[in-house]
A and B are shown apart, each in its own frame.
Chain A
């Protein structure tokens, strides 16, 4: 009985936290305490579900019957567990980082910020635990709308414009493509539930299934497959902690998580594999991997470079889902975790550099390692993990993705992964290396060692260490990945 309501509790805790943050807004210290306690409690609730899920339990809870046959319902399975664990774990450190960042940069309307953040995490957990397409869509939209105030936080005309692009692309794709696909699925199968092995096979022709898969993947705008990616660079106008947790972890990973989930539980991996339903999408996502990496090379603004790097890395997971390989699902789900730790580290570093020295452009960051040694070292760790080199977590997911490309008999994709890794080296490593080797060129870097506030540095160290830990103990994630397909 208690286990059955835990998934609902996982949503209720951050929901309640959002309310309390709103009520304690007048007392900043209390408000921050509430945020941190909520984040810790949320992670505790989510983590308490993990052992059961590993033993094969699937705690489920029906919240309300929406219309006859369609329920708002939650169920916990291993894929959702990975995403939920990552999002709730990193929220703890992102909160600490936010305290340091928002205070040091004197951001306004912090109560709204923390409230929306908690609502966004609740929505992300709703996506993670959704038991059917309807529930998933509901929380997907909730995540979009709750993050708008975070993107447009600065309320400058530029921020509002970026917010409009963000909202416009995400709602347009989800409504016109994803919702169409959901209702279409409902019309032909009579259900929207997630079931092992998918629900489409036998109900539709392979051609229709391929169209539906395209609608689902492109409709998940948060997965940022080109040409529907440009909301993500636009969203970089947000404060850096928002970019870090939402646009490297919670929001974008919601997108690729949904793509994986739909591939496994709506369309079915075997169906995709047998009929090669993902051919068109392989081209699109493969192209995104390469093109986004090339664009990243040209960006001098660090956050923009990281954003394009994210676009590229997200398509790794999209490829994993649509290439039609069971190993791909393992690799894709691993990559959700590995990339999250690597990329959030990089964003944290970008924010720390901005907080300490107000630098945003890569060309100004030469010699930064002499002034911010800890931050730059962590940047190096995060970069190596994103590139996929041992001894860092990213190596494992790249390994499985490569194997999956071979299993799916798509050698070209293996080439895509390798070329992209080289491009990652080209646009990420120089920042750290030149940071340590070059003489500082920018005037503000001529002083002695000056790191960002401790509340910013601590989370960076933790997430960078996480990249190492995940290399040594990949089974932390792998044991879930292995159980997604039974």
Chain B
């Protein structure tokens, strides 16, 4: 009885739970509900992914309220969004385990229920954006996700009041981005009279030189650029990641920009189509250009940071560059690399930010000074940071290497070896910023040796190492992730 409604449940369950969480009082009940719901949603998403990945299976379609497409809202799940759904819900589930202690340390008890409510609504929004096949519905869910994200970032206020300005800045820029997107979707609706993505793609096929469509394209790409934080539209990201509560940073870094990348894939590859986007509009030129800038400039900026959360935030901007570069090259290997990097980066960066959360839990901050000599005092947390960092560099046997392999192969297939060099130079820059952290952890003496610092509690270590362990596992045994990413590339219209 549940099985046919599985796609709807993925969105409805966290939505309802988000409202219920508000009324569960000041104890740990809201957390418990969040934990149960995120794991349930993860199970549902994984089931859905299994269903989509069966060879030759058509995309799973679900008509909301039984209104048939193109009039009603349709959920349409293929290998691409099923994969992203699983990533988002999986990260949310792991972060939920981490949240209890970390949130208790960073947010006053009377706000816990607001926190978990916003968390669940944010999850609802991210999952909804990913699953829906309707452009306007996507916008609505994007606003749900964004508004709850601003709230989550602002909840870091107790640790550092700068969280408020960071959240406000994010709100302004996020809203600008969303508005661009809405305007674009409006133009498309004006021209085609439909909001269903498949329907839109059909009707746009012959309209590539229409000025309304071109305007819509420009608006949508700009809006998406802001949402994914593609350089130079990334200004909101570093502060938001730095001042948000630790667990929020981990969750956002691993999911929000990934969903943005998914939206970009969906609009450019499915709605506008490869022919319009690349052959006619040559969007690859600026996508690749800005991606290269993102990789190089953001990595250099990361090297100079002393706050490790901000360092990793800049690293995220660079990593988004890798994803967008793979997207811009639009060949099978590069898109496989981009999609697999969505997964790999989510796992690595999520794990890294959780490890930093554990450091913050013990030391109250995560600057390079606080990390000094931590290798002896918090060995497991420090090891997690090193392994995660090696993943960012793309050392073999970590997940990052797999992404790098396919992205470079994609560059070479596209006869663009200078781009391959950009990717490889990017990993050297990553080594520079990661190595500063490694040296601080293992080859420096603590700033305050008398301060008793113990290893983080298991409730923080286990989720951290689940993600870091996953980044190792999927670095040594990437058959599943690569096969899924290849299926996603095919679903996006770039076969081998």
Contact = CB atoms under 8 A, between A and B. Distances in A.
A64 B478 CA distance: 10
A160 B443 contact: yes
A179 B396 CA distance: 10
A176 B477 contact: no
A29 B482 CA distance: 48
A379 B397 CA distance: 41
A179 B425 CA distance: 11
7 contacts: A65-B479, A66-B479, A68-B479, A145-B390, A145-B395, A152-B443, A171-B431
A180 interface: yes
A138 interface: yes
Contacts of B402: 66-67
Contact of A141 (B396, B409, B482): B396
Nearest to A167: B435
B397 to A, nearest CB: 6
A72 B476 CA distance: 8
Interface string B366-397: 00000000000000000000000010011111
Contact of B428 (A138, A145, A164, A172): A172
A208 to B, nearest CB: 11
B428 A65 contact: no
A187 interface: yes
B402 to A, nearest CB: 6
Given A180-B420, A183-B412, A164 B435 contact: yes
Given A66-B478, A68-B479, A167-B435, A179 B408 contact: yes
Contact of A187 (B396, B397, B412): B412
B424 A179 contact: yes
Given A65-B477, A164-B435, A180 B408 contact: yes
Shortest 3 CB-CB contacts between residues of A and residues of B: A138-B396, A187-B412, A67-B482
A441 B431 CA distance: 47
Nearest to A138: B396
Interface string B427-458: 11001000100010011000000000000000
Contact of A175 (B417, B427, B476): B427
B440 to A, nearest CB: 11
B16 interface: no
B413 A187 contact: yes
Interface in B76-116: none
Given A68-B483, A160-B439, A176-B428, A183 B396 contact: no
A141 B431 CA distance: 13
A312 B412 CA distance: 35
Contacts of A142: 396-397
A152 B435 CA distance: 13
A183 B420 contact: yes
Contacts of B425: 176
B428 A67 contact: no
Contact size range, A: 20 to 34
B409 A187 contact: yes
Nearest to B478: A67
B421 interface: yes
B290 interface: no
B405 interface: yes
B207 to A, nearest CB: 36
A68 B482 contact: yes
Interface of B: 390, 393-397, 402, 404-405, 408-409, 412-413, 417, 420-421, 424-425, 427-428, 431, 435, 439, 442-443, 476-479, 482-483
Contacts of B478: 66-67
Nearest to A173: B428
A162 to B, nearest CB: 12
Nearest to B396: A138
A399 interface: no
A145 to B, nearest CB: 7
Given A67-B402, A152-B443, A160-B439, A171 B479 contact: no
Given A67-B478, A137-B396, A187-B413, A176 B483 contact: no
A172 B431 CA distance: 9
Contacts of A160: 439, 443
Tell me the dominant secondary structure on chain A's binding face: helix
Interface string A228-240: 0000000000000
Nearest to A149: B442
A134 interface: yes
Interface in A418-459: none
Given A68-B479, A137-B396, 7 more contacts: A67-B482, A68-B482, A164-B435, A167-B431, A167-B435, A180-B420, A187-B413
Contacts of A176: 421, 424-425, 428
Contacts of A67: 402, 405, 478-479, 482
Interface string A160-200: 10001001100110011001100110110000000000000
A64 B427 contact: no
Interface in A17-62: none
A183 B435 contact: no
A171 B390 CA distance: 12
B300 to A, nearest CB: 15
Interface in A139-155: 141-142, 145, 149, 152, 155
B397 A138 contact: yes
Nearest to A63: B476
Contacts of B413: 187
A152 B417 CA distance: 35
Contacts of B412: 183-184, 187
Nearest to B427: A175
B485 to A, nearest CB: 10
Contacts of A167: 431, 435
Contacts of B483: 68
Contact of A183 (B397, B409, B476): B409
Q: Which of B390, B396, B439 has the most CB of A within 10 A?
A: B396
Nearest to B413: A187
Contacts of B477: 64-66
Contacts of B408: 179-180, 183
A151 to B, nearest CB: 11
B428 A66 contact: no
Nearest to B428: A172
Contacts of A180: 408, 417, 420-421, 424
Contact of B476 (A66, A68, A172): A66
A229 B393 CA distance: 23
A304 to B, nearest CB: 24
A160 B444 CA distance: 10
A149 B386 CA distance: 14
A134 B409 contact: no
B420 to A, nearest CB: 6
Contacts of B405: 67, 183
A138 B439 CA distance: 22
A67 B405 CA distance: 10
A395 B223 CA distance: 71
A175 B443 contact: no
Contacts of A65: 477, 479
B408 to A, nearest CB: 5
Contacts of A64: 476-477
Q: Which of B394, B417, B479 has the most CB of A within 10 A?
A: B479
Contacts of B390: 145
Given A66-B476, A68-B482, A175 B428 contact: yes
A154 to B, nearest CB: 10
A330 B405 CA distance: 34
Nearest to B420: A180
A134 B425 CA distance: 19
A474 B443 CA distance: 44
Contact of B396 (A68, A134, A149, A155): A134
Interface string A243-285: 0000000000000000000000000000000000000000000
Contacts of B395: 141, 145
Interface string A119-142: 000000000000000100110011
Contacts of B428: 171-172, 175-176
Interface string A281-302: 0000000000000000000000
